[in-house]
Amino acid sequence: MTRSVDLNCDMGEGFGQWRLGETEDAALMPLISSANIATGFHAGDPNVMDEVVALAVSHGVALGAHPGYRDLQGFGRRSIRASDAELINDIVYQVGALQAFATRHGQALQHIKPHGALFMDIAASARFSEALIETLSRVAPGTILFCMEASETYRAARAAGHPVVREFFADRDYDDSGAIVFARKVERPDPAAIAEKCLHACRDGVVRSVSGTEIEIGFDSICFHSDTPGALDIGRAIRDRLETHGIRIAPAAQVIGQA
């Protein structure tokens, strides 16, 4: 049984006057323990990044960089054909930006979590995963990498001894391999059903796939997305359900014993 788990959410996903989703980050921040902050390529800009970092620090929420493909129009949910070296440089650039804002507010980055299509493409490629982890070991040593357990990223991180956190996706479906079913648009789900799904995964280590099969799932952190319709109700339902059943919410570094 999972006794302690991180609860993370994607944040800062807007730029200028534009904001994504129906819920303000300020309403979601008290519910979570780790924030994945957009770094300018799929969403975010310097002012938004600074604002969300400050907000997270004020709530004691751990900071994470959320780099994506350079795809504002598609919100980073479209793959971009480029060399691994070019894409890794894009990630380094984005991580460096958030590191600077974290330093400005007296904090360090806890983690890095690729966004959207980039997350899925890294997960499917051993070569890309290995190159990314080798780079992170130099530019962000000790910074946790978030990924799925059923991914090349997790295998490569474990082999290299790089700190890694496995995510469970509350508001996404799973296939029989244990990978999430990638979605470009999500309908409004039932918060109570999502909370029960999370509790079931924490207590029993399984999730029901789209085929109706219960599959084993290992994880250290639960993710819900701020752009999912009803995100505030989802976050409240998850936290309340887990805490009611004695499951502690804590930053990812504490969950894996790094802090």
Whether residue 186 has pLDDT greater than 70: no
Domain enclosing residue 102, as ranges:
4-255
Distance in angstroms (rounded) separating the CA atoms of residues 85 and 82: 8
CB count within 10 Å of CB 73 equals: 7
Nearest 5°: phi and psi at 37? -105, 120
CB count within 10 Å of CB 95 equals: 22
Task: Return the CATH number at 188.
Answer: 3.20.20.370
CB count within 10 Å of CB 105 equals: 14
What 3-state class would DSSP assign to 18? strand
Whether residue 183 has pLDDT greater than 70: no
The angle at the Cα of 256, spanning 251 to 257, to the nearest 5 degrees, equals 95
Whether residue 3 has pLDDT greater than 90: no
Write out the H or E segment, with its range, that includes residue 167: strand 164-169
221-224 and 4-11 as β-strands: parallel, antiparallel, unpaired? parallel
Distance in angstroms (rounded) separating the CA atoms of residues 12 and 34: 13
Distance in angstroms (rounded) separating the CA atoms of residues 105 and 208: 41
Tens of pLDDT along 115-125? 999 999 999 99
DSSP one-letter string for 65-90: EE---S-TTTTT-S-----HHHHHHH
Query: In the structure encoding, which two tokens stand for residue 218, read together?
Result: 């290992």
Whether residue 1 has pLDDT greater than 60: no
Distance in angstroms (rounded) separating the CA atoms of residues 128 and 142: 19
Q: What total number of domains does the chain contain?
A: 1
What 3-state class would DSSP assign to 7? strand
Tens of pLDDT along 221-246? 999 999 899 999 999 999 999 999 99
Tens of pLDDT along 135-171? 999 999 999 999 999 999 999 999 999 999 999 999 9
